[in-house]
Amino acid sequence: MLIHEIIFMIITTILRLRTSHANSTNETINNASMFPAILVFGDSTIDTGNNNYINTIIRANFPPYGCNFPGRNATGRFSNGKLIPDFIASLMGIKDTVPPFLDPHLSDSDILTGVCFASAGSGYDNYTDLATLSLSVAKQADMLRSYLARLNRIAGEEKAATILSEALVIVSSGTNDFDINLYDTPSPRVKLGVNGYQNFILSGVKNFVQELYDIGCRKIMVLGLPPIGCLPIQMTMDRQKQSERRCIDKQNSDSKRYNKKLKKSLTVIQSNLSGSVIFYADIYGAILDMATNPQRYGIKETTRGCCGTGEMELSYLCNPLTPTCPDPNHFLFWDDIHPTQLAYLVVSLSLVDQIIHVLH
């Protein structure tokens, strides 16, 4: 067993013990957990496979994706293994992995303990969804309504309403919006400028959170942006020389400013929605620390992905014929956008701390 695998197992065990939550069974709602279910909305960083079932080229249901997932299965997750929702669901004692809602084989147990509605390539901006043919947040909200209808049939309306109101809701989106419409490709949104576009996206966040609340969600964690300037794709688009690849300070500053606005906005939103706990969760700090202090995590490469050259491989460009690095745990990123499973575990550790701080 590799040293990184041993570390991975130790960290996971420590987190399980620290949160003091038992695993849920396959047949019943786990009353030992802080949450009866987990519901997930957003983009590829948390899409556990919905894009497998829609007409889009933004997919990851083929090797080498999933090479470190249980069973070495390429499930549609954009990484070499598990994603943030999987880790959080496991660490919070809900379930081991979070299935995509569009999976035609969902069991009643899956419905009772929560599913993922996220879609790789999506954003708060309709232009983003048009560019990627992904499921917009509006469509994801419609999927939640369909989920609730099935949950009502399984548990009864009263119990279903309780599950929905007590579920941990994770929303993670926005990176695609800024990459596609502001930084990398021509878009009408450019005329808004960085500040104007941030405010435009924040209005989308407000509308989406309001919709989730109206459907019955009450405990909503909204993730901020990562340090976008540290994504390998951004360094490539910036035409950086191979020997001089580094995070783009301006884009990171934009991300920090947006996150500050988001945190303030969510406080206002919660104050207007009675009975809600709506809070900002930081992922910027954990990812930036891995990018700037990689030795703390055993990471050796932070500016390229593990798949191929690591500079431009994504989705079908990262395929069974693409060579990969010997050990993904030495890399911060798996492809040119998405972190490795190890990096997602580190981020999840931080998020669990934030959840417990706010909701325990």
Element (H, E) at 221: strand 219-223
C-alpha–C-alpha distance, residues 14 and 281, integer Å? 22
Burial class (CB in 10 A: 0-12, 13-18, 19+), 127: middle
Q: Which among 254, 335, 336, 348 is annotated as catalytic?
A: 335
242 closest CA partner among 183, 335, 319, 310:
310
d(CA 205, CA 263): 11
335 is catalytic: yes
Q: Closest by alpha carbon to 252, among 222, 287, 279, 223? A: 287
Cα separations (Å) of 147 from 141, 150, 161, 298? Answer: 10, 5, 12, 41
Q: Which of 24, 315, 338, 348 is catalytic?
A: 338
**Backbone dihedral region for residue 319 (phi beyond 0: left; psi -120 to 50: alpha; all else: beta):** beta
Q: Which of 44, 90, 136, 315 is catalytic?
A: 44
Catalytic residues: 44, 335, 338
